[in-house]
Structure 1
Amino acid sequence: MLLSKKIVNRFFLVVAVSLSLQSISQASVCDSIGVERKDGKLFVLHRIAAGETLYSLSRKYNVSVDDIKKNNPTWSEGLKVGQVLYVPSNAAAPTKATTTASATGKTHTVAAGETLYSIATKYSISVDALKKANPGLTNSISVGQELNLPGKAGSTTTTTTTPAKPETTGTTQTTSVVKETVEHKVAGGETFYSIAKKYNVSVEDIKKANPGVSSLKVGQTIKISNAEVAQTTTTATPVKPVTATTTTTTGTTKPVTTTTPAKPANVEADTIQLQQDKARLETMQTQTPATKPTVPASDFKKITENGFADLMADNQDTPKYLAYHKTAAVGTIIQLLNESNGIKVYVRVVGKLTDTGTDGKTIIRISKKAYERLGGTGSRFSATLMYIP
């Protein structure tokens, strides 16, 4: 009888532990103060902090603004610091990116933080090829969405040997670097710093050679003194006849199943978006006409502005990099470059810029923390900004 009682007690203990683990797993969503089940749905209880908006919350929890409004009738009275909102939870959504085999090829299940570009890069394909394999697919994808991956043809190997045409002379190219004064036509996205880096001169050298030029415009022509320019010399050399051998091989990739760990569920969605915007901005900034773009130009666009950056009148004590801008939406990530020293940071738009200075040339106002990080001195500095709308 005593033994039977112990077995029953252990059984109830195991059931209690299982229920506790299930509750913990359901609550492991990115939340502020906890979770609550209401009308059969799981909600994240979020306490409003200073500077937060419905838009920033929708990006943080990967839900739409309309979904938040539907579950919080008091939103029309305005958000207040300390107010608690019910945010629909996506805890049931897949948290891992998976690749499975199908009858026509491979498929990929979208995980949190992934984009068409990151998926295409993972499988060494282009974004256009991915879109062709998924008719109707747009640049906007959602967590848990299943995408078809382009298949590959069968394997064939062909080797042919043909006599090459006799050659009597060949060419040898020698490249050397010389310094001379050149004229440079400003292209979209270029700054004093990027042009100086291209010709291995300083920003001060460019401004000295172009007195009166304080900002750059697309199509403007400027002089670059002591610019390093590559010169190529071609020399003819005798070449003996050779036999050309061509080997062509195309391989077949068998469908495989792989599992890639997704980003932790407690990483904020807006932080993931910031990382993606940084990668895209860096890709656009480092492209040159001689380099084939790694991302199709149709996949996204950028906006570049030149002018002055000023200090915010408020938000002096915040440790965050915040900004006011005339047209960028709240929550937009902007890359800001100090023209005088080449330092750049990424700032988040939290409001609309209404004061553009007495001369109307202020393009952005930033928090004190961001201003100090950029090495700003005085009340303003010459800057270039770039962002993806």
Structure 2
Amino acid sequence: MPLLFAGWLSSIVTQAHPFRLDSLGMEKKDGKLFVLHRVEQGQTLYSLVRKYNTTVQAIKDANPGMAENFRYDQVVRVPAGNLSRKEEKAVTKALKQEEKELKREEREVKQETVKEANSGIHQVEPGQTLYSLAARYGVSMDDVRKWNNLSSDHIVSGQPLIVSEKAWRVREPLAKPVTVPAHRSDSSADMARTSRNDSPKTERPSPPRTNSAPREEPARPSETDRPATEPTTSVPSEPRIIRPGDTGPLPNPGGNARRVSEIGLAEIIENSNSSNKYLGLHRTVPVGTLVLVRNDMNQQSIWVKIIGRLPDTSVNDKVIVKISARAFEKLSPVDRRFRAEVSYLAP
């Protein structure tokens, strides 16, 4: 969904616009313009109504399911109803222009990626991470670590990295020759078989037969004569302990617990490349809960610990969970997002 930052609009609506734009900027959804406002400490629903000269119902309609009690750092969509027709056209035009610029930048990045992929060497630029480079070149983070002898995910600007297996093999020393055990030729095998077949066979004499009387087997005790066996008591198995990073299935709910599952998109938590933990963000799951995230495409699954709330913004409309880079690498080392099923046990 096109998102326009405040810097793009400052020259368009600063003088004529009756309210000050939030630093997050504006977006267009279903043909309507909205201001994206990040809630500050102490702000309430009614303070936003006064700030943007709108109504409580208008803000509620723009944010379905939103509670009246705001939380700090929450992003709220506010209708930009005070824009004149001229300003609205200017904003729409700026949004389209930004979308064109983004597409142009994407084309340039793809062309540069193809060029660097041919050489197999990438020069790290400011802000790039090991995960972003692995996703860019369609390889796994484990491969990049192996090709460059990295002991961690930390990389620095200006560092050259091998990003293709072809470039890595060219730079690796020649592998040691593999010795294959010699096999006998067909002729020698045939000779061996012939010699075995031509050797004289000696028959063993059969033991003498004796006409002995048949043995009488002792009578088996009847079922009533057998001593009663003591009933065996089954020892209940210990409950399985689940930890973040495990790949086991969801255990059977016991007691009053129930299984909860939902399907949607999974994305990576921004700026989580430095963490080696398996963490996640979710809208409703209580903080501290372990949830099982499964990639519907490759059926890989992993347990992550929920550490916070997923921001309720338009860009996250179809996203049900965000996970750390370490967990994302295990489930989807190439794609930026994937269709996932999130399951957990709730009381």
TM above 0.5, yes or no, is no
Structure of higher CA gyration radius: 2
Higher strand share: 1
TM-score (norm 2): 0.29
Higher helix share: 2
TM-score (norm 1): 0.26
